[in-house]
Amino acid sequence: MWAGVCVVVFLCVTGVVGVGMLYPRDSESREVRNLDGMWNFRADMSPTRNAGLKAAWFKQPLAKTGPVIPMPVPSSYNDVTQDISLRDFVGWVWYDRDFFVPQDWQNRRVVLRFGSANYYAIVWVNAQEVVQHNGGHLPFEAEINKYLHFGGSNLLTVAVNNTLTQHTLPPGTIQYQADTERYPDGYFVQNLQMDFFNYAGIHRHVRLYTTPTTYIDDVTVTTNISNGKAGIMQYQIDVGGSAQGSSIKVDVEDKDGNVVGTSTNFTGTVTVANANLWYPYTMMPNSPAYLYTLKMTLTSKAGTDVYRLPVGIRTIQVTDSQVLINNRPFYCHGIGKHEDADIRGRGLDYATIAKDFNMFKWLGVNCFRTSVYPYAEEIMDQADQEGIMVIDESPGIGITQDENFSNTSLFHHLEVMDELVRRDKNRPAVMMWSVANEPGSDKGISIPYFKSVIGHTRSLDPTRPVSFVSNKNYIDDKAVQFVDIICFNRYYAWYTDTGHTEVIQVQMASDMDGWRSKYNKPLFVTEYGAGSVAGLHRDPSSAFTEEYQVDFMAEYHKQFDSRIGKDLVGEMVWTFSDFITAQGVKRVVGNKKGVLTRQRQPKPAAFLLRQRYQALINRTAH
């Protein structure tokens, strides 16, 4: 009921140029107000889940429609209460709260912005619909001036539906059971095509922000290096509102606020002499992750708009066997993770962000993959600031059924990549776009699908490599031909030959040789891992013990060491910490492949990884 019909086969849809969604930042001309906190909440428990839409709950305060409970925003509603029906709820949930807008905002542009809501959202202000958004994990916003009561109280209502269909990302299906002798009347379940819990709700910040009526709508920055010293910033600024007669001043400021470059063009180049380059912290321990500030000052009849964008000067190149950062070889000793905030589902949590980045540094991690959906902008900010590279991945997991490759699914996937690139295109930490994880890339129908998605992503950003993560054999994969770096997941001695770590080196060597001989592209092992239950021991080791996880990883490391500097450009253990999945006989309260527990306590495998990664940092050359 959400997705429209599309006749695209493998064409690129219109790009995102001029349709900006800059992260809200305070400035001399902009004001940001946070609407986080305790909201009123109600799940639509009707059999059809649409009683709230039919009765137009948005026309009055939610408390007048029936019982409500307090719900923190941002958060996943699943883990907040002791109600099992809410933990596993599928369908529409409703939120509302009051907010005030000062009278002096009336002559300004007022924008309502959601960091993300999972999965489909409808937003009303004072009983008038202002925006709908299809897709979790990425921001959406709307200008709301015409709906507001300036100088008075306003009612904000949000309906969120977490139902996954064959055309969502990730996809899923609803299964109804008609046998009333075995199931209650109207019984249904959400079947998932992913191996993690379907957390839902308003997951990230809700904000109001203001700009002048003529404003900086978007900016795209690409960087280069000249003669090894000079930093080159090429930029394009798009203006919203009435741009006639407007002018721009662009200042590049260093960390101390000194202006080191200036321009007065909407599209132009600024050169920074003797630039401090942005490096991952493992490549430049004394001065990593240097960020300049691109200060843009727009002057128009509507007044002055100022926006500041952090910018790192760095280049990324891919050869047939290496990734080069600023013309120097980079080897990723990384980790895959979920944006899973210990016991708080997937809601934004600053303490967990700080803890995770401290654990990255403790382990010696210099890159991570946003498995398997885009993470919060605040996490990406931290990666920019701390010098940790990111494989930025779309929520394209579970694309395995024929209908998942349909034109409707394709069009939505292209839209998602538009939104992801628009959001993260200026981030120095983003080293690569990943359009999917473990899709059915052995199917013939995957060829036009991924040719389109990868080609479209590359057209949006030609400065970074594009890939997807394969779990297919090099003989059978039909779509990896389109990628720049071959990313693949392998679980030898776990899902196959369980318990037999002696097969790992042989099977990995054969696999990697096959990829190289067929495609001659750099290799990146984006997942390998074994589950371990914290505190479970056996000697000799066996599956699910902490000892087995260590033995398992050590065998993979031997094979990786033989390929570093030849064709392997990165390794990522799966996974950073244990995480919750749907219930099933293969999982005991979630996935236990973490080198840390869900509460971020290290298992023995974490100490093995720390020893390895710290040694890699200390090498003079990889």
By annotation, the residues acting in catalysis are 438
> Residue 397's Cα: distance from chain center in Å?
12
**Full strand arrangement of the beta sheet holding 120-125:** 69-73, 37-43, 92-100, 153-161, 120-125, 128-134
Is residue 575 reached through a cis peptide bond, with omega within 30 degrees of 0 on the bond before it?
yes
Q: How far apart are CA 351 and CA 365, in angstroms?
A: 19
* Strand (E) or helix (H) holding 435: strand 430-437
Q: CB 465: neighbour CB atoms within 10 A?
A: 23
Q: How far apart are CA 341 and CA 162, in angstroms?
A: 19
Tokens encoding 118: 């999972």
Which DSSP letter does residue 404 get?
Answer: G
* Strand (E) or helix (H) holding 344: none
Are 115 and 206 contacting, i.e. CB atoms less than 8 angstroms apart? yes
> 3-class DSSP state for residue 270?
strand
Q: Residue 520 — left, alpha, or beta (φ > 0 → left; ψ -120 to 50 → alpha)? A: left
Q: How far apart are CA 240 and CA 245, in angstroms?
A: 13
Q: How far apart are CA 406 and CA 239, in angstroms?
A: 36
Is residue 74 reached through a cis peptide bond, with omega within 30 degrees of 0 on the bond before it?
yes
> Residue 435's Cα: distance from chain center in Å?
11
